[in-house]
Structure 1
């Protein structure tokens, strides 16, 4: 099964009160691919994702899904195509894991429809994929940060959208679970053709898992393209103010960034 939804920003301007965060941004996200957005803190990464999911209305310009402005689409119609895992989501007090994940099925419900076998299967598959099935009856309040993050990812998966936006999906996860989640997203992309756009802080994870890499700096696109073309020493210096060395990752063949600090750097002849 493959999907083919176009999503792009046209002359997009975003901000909060008197502060402009993103100014006249033009950007296209490749359909049925994994895109990772990287950049320094406060460069506009999360702001962009919020606008793409219509949580933040634009001051000017549009986010277009299949040629339609997302801010003019009915909320439920949009939610059947586009799902969002925001940064630091908040669960209702006392809600169980199964009930929270089940909320991912709400866009597929109508006033007259009831919970179906298909809904049961979607929730079970999401819990299984994120290894949270054993937590189903527990309160979300009782979970560790890493467990809670996997439950939120399960809710996003249960929504079964063709486009999935994730803001720091590996937050609170140890390295083994980070790899597990990113492998899961790769499986989802390859099996269903899901268009995935995610914000990541880890440049090397972004370069390893993304088909398309976008480096933002001060609300503008500094570079975009294949990871090998974007993750360069010049780009890391310009976007993060960091000197580095870029080598080829021997396990993935993708670029690997080695930061240069003032200490623990081997001297060369």
Structure 2
């Protein structure tokens, strides 16, 4: 069960070359919930996600999954528990949609474990959930940006991990498909108990779909908690440098951020 897994970052410092991007960060991912990471561009959101999935080794501190440092775990063992959909992934040239989604089952294959009916079922369910079944025989590099994004999400779903990390999964998607993807991930969380951690750039979508929000500012944890606790006018001003008004979303009952522009202030 996903609720038996714990994922934490302890005094985590991350960077590239001489540049520090995330510094001395502590956080705990609530198991069995949907967590969304928000923040301004270049604040460290994607860098944090890369380190949580062990793609980026920390300069200081550690990422711990179920009491073990992820950067010391065998890759295949980690991949059976934790999956990652990075931002703008690249598919091998000429690969078909079906072949790419099937690669999500790789962590479940081994010396004595061959492809079986469960693998077929997982791939079929992932294709159906992302509405990509009719694309199965198409080459990935022939698809539109939105179609490709849904295929990558299908591959991540086929992996059937208890924890799933996604870096801006709504990239390239129109408004309708953004909602479909976020509804799909919410259903995955509600029905399977999958712990979801994702980066979103749209604050209002983040507030609508998150159980737990993490707001980063200049590589540090500025605020975390429920959307109502995190999405405040003061926090929006500090994290995004933006004046706003927070009202209740009439659809979800969650906080809704209305940005204030110089030319959209009602005259007195």
- C-alpha deviation, 1:192, in angstroms: 1.0
- Aligned: 1:44 with 2:64: no
1:142 — aligned with what? 142
Question: Where do residues 59-138 of structure 1 align in structure 2 (5 Å cutoff)?
Answer: 59-138=59-138
1:4 is the counterpart of 2:38: no
Question: SS where residue 80 of structure 2 aligns?
Answer: helix
Structure 1 residues 235-261: Cα deviation after superposition (integer angstroms, max 9, x where no partner): 000000000000000110000000011
Q: TM-score, normalised by structure 1?
A: 0.98
Contact 1:213–1:227 at 8 Å: present in 2 too? yes
User: What residue in structure 2 maps to residue 185 of structure 1?
Assistant: 185
Per-residue Cα deviation, 1:57-104 (whole angstroms, up to 9, x for no partner): 011110000111000000000000000000010000000000000000
| Cα contact 1:3–1:192 (8 A) shared by 2 | no
2:190 is paired with a residue whose SS is helix
5+ residue gaps, structure 2, are none
Rounded Cα–Cα distance in structure 2 between residues aligned with 1:80 and 1:240: 36
1:209 aligns with 2:213: no
d(CA) in 2 for partners of 1:266 and 1:147?
41
Once superposed, what is the RMSD of the aligned Cα atoms? 0.9
For these two proteins, the number of residue pairs brought into alignment is 268
In the TM superposition, residue 4 of structure 1 has moved relative to its aligned partner by 2.5
